[in-house]
A and B are shown apart, each in its own frame.
Chain A
């Protein structure tokens, strides 16, 4: 349960950025391990990639793309906040980064269904 002092908009975006970052950090070693199969064992890679035809895997990939995009655009927002002159619409920028993340995930989903 979210504690009361954390129940405000920007804390939610902090959580999204942190959780998406951890999820990507966990995903990347698996991702590179699978990619390495292209060199070490192409037949295994081909059979593994057949899993991407499953609906559940497509949904999981879409979630992953959303996390990646949300982390990317959220990170750009944080860098802008810390390196560029201040703007008072931080919540709007955060909402925009979320919208871009969702838009990117939807684009991906349309590609794979």
Chain B
């Protein structure tokens, strides 16, 4: 990286604390060209305070572990360039909203994944290795619906962006519901009806208010709102007696 000759230092506020509370600490960070928010956080940890806690792994937008709240919006920090989100010369970095904080910028992902399980988001195969291979047409509408959400990287950006999650602790959230929609449409998943039953409960797909924040912020450009709408439609028709 080279120092950006046209810019000054960045004034960065980073949330420091744990589950019991905390406050913003302020750092001055040199501005570089092609600098990501994760680069900024790493620079602070390496040059200012080695105790700063945050999470990352792949740095290329695949693992979904580096999501944080940047200037009030949930972002994958490894793929978010500072010059796209900075306001003036100020940058504010906080842990993801709607999740408990472990320490500093590291959010506790347990509630997020517990809701995946609650939404029956675990694939249950319909056949064993001893059964003949089932042919799947990749162009069938059902398979295409399943494939649309399968690239979710579990970053929880949608979960953090969602105001329904903030207002309703029981709400499963966009990622878990999108996973459920993927499995409902996956011919190799054993029991789609049990998934539909799971997402019809209190806090399921019908709690969604269609704000669209999940789709607006999904860094992988998936469409959880479409998946939730699909679940709403399918569960409603199932309730009215239409067989899948």
Contacts and interface: CB of A to CB of B under 8 A. Distances in A.
A5 B212 contact: no
Interface string B220-240: 000001100110110010000
Interface in A1-41: 3-6, 8-11, 14
Interface string A37-70: 0000000000000000000000000000000000
Interface in B170-213: 209-213
Interface string B136-166: 0000000000000000000000001101000
Residue from A3, A5, A11, A78 with most neighbouring chain B CB atoms (10 Å): A5
A88 B216 CA distance: 13
A4 B71 contact: yes
Contacts of B226: 86
Contacts of B73: 4-5
Interface residues of B, number: 23
Contacts of B71: 4
B72 interface: yes
Contact of B72 (A4, A9, A78, A81): A4
Contacts of B121: none
Interface of B: 71-74, 97, 160-161, 163, 209-213, 215-217, 225-226, 229-230, 232-233, 236
8 contacts: A5-B160, A6-B163, A8-B216, A10-B213, A81-B210, A81-B229, A83-B236, A90-B212
